Structure 1
Amino acid sequence: MHRRLLPLAALLLATPLSAQDAPAPELSLEQRMLLRCSATFAMVAHGQETGNAEALQYPPLAESGREFFVQASARVMDETGLSIEELTVVLQREAQDLVDKQQVEAMMPVCLPLLPQSGL
């Protein structure tokens, strides 16, 4: 299961938002926060890879952010029964919302304590 989730971070950044007309699944606040932080970590990690100065001010997220992404995605899929395709749509929506509202930087202090060393 985890190996199938790893490409989602790249897909999240590389694919335009799809299936916008699909109804949003019901997620708990905790599940939505896990996915929102996953999207945040994916975008900041991408920024770090490309040398973005704002992204580089945070701890390296290539490994810890990816691990969080995988664990959070698997947990939400297990708890909700979402397919990978449905999860991808939700993650894309979260990422788009973060970009539209310019909230990536504001999310980092909220999300950083959730990294794997503190557990999910």
Structure 2
Amino acid sequence: MAALGPAAMPLSFLIPVAALAAQPAVTGPLPALTLEQETAVRCASAFAIVAAEQAKGGPSVANWPGLGARGREFFVRTGARLMDDTGASRPAVSALFARSADDLRAGGQLAARLEGLRQPCLALLDLTVPAG
């Protein structure tokens, strides 16, 4: 876990801690992403943060639907698709998610950023992992 830093903590419910600790550090640049891939990473990171807050009963995410299983499935599909499309390793994809989570938290504007992502990311979730 130390290789990803504290920002990866909300993602830990999706990636077993032992698996993170066992992964080698990412060497070299992270893969360049298309706008679609970057959006999926950002939404997956937002879903992980929201799901972690929901698990804690955080009132700042009360307007989000429950994201447990569907958010986790979106996260997994996004990671797998990134590895397939870019040839990135699992540690590189984990680093992309961690960087995105760091960006969402930067400057103390997390609640506002999450609210701005709510509608477009939920629409993407519906397209990727239909309810029911």
TM-score normalized by structure 1?
A: 0.78
**Stretches of structure 2 lacking an aligned partner (at least 5 in a row):** 1-9
> Whole-Å Cα distance in 2 between the matches of residues 20 and 56 of structure 1?
35
Query: Higher relative contact order at CA 8 Å, sep ≥6: structure 1 or structure 2?
Result: 1
From 43, 47, 53, the counterpart of 1:47: 53
SS at match of 2:68: coil
Structure 1 segments of 4 or more deviating over 3 A? Answer: 11-15, 19-22
Q: Which residue of 1 aligns with 2:116?
A: 106
Q: How many residues are treated as equivalent by the alignment?
A: 109
From 82, 85, 105, the counterpart of 1:79: 85
From 34, 56, 59, the counterpart of 2:65: 59
Based on CA coordinates, which of the two structures has the bigger radius of gyration? 2
> Whole-Å Cα distance in 1 between the matches of residues 27 and 118 of structure 2?
29
Distance change >3 Å, CA 26–CA 56, structure 1 → 2? same
Q: Which residue of 2 aligns with 1:9?
A: 11
SS at match of 1:63: helix
TM-score normalized by structure 2?
A: 0.72
> Whole-Å Cα distance in 1 between the matches of residues 54 and 98 of structure 2?
20
Distance change >3 Å, CA 12–CA 96, structure 1 → 2? farther
Q: Which residue of 1 aligns with 2:76?
A: 70
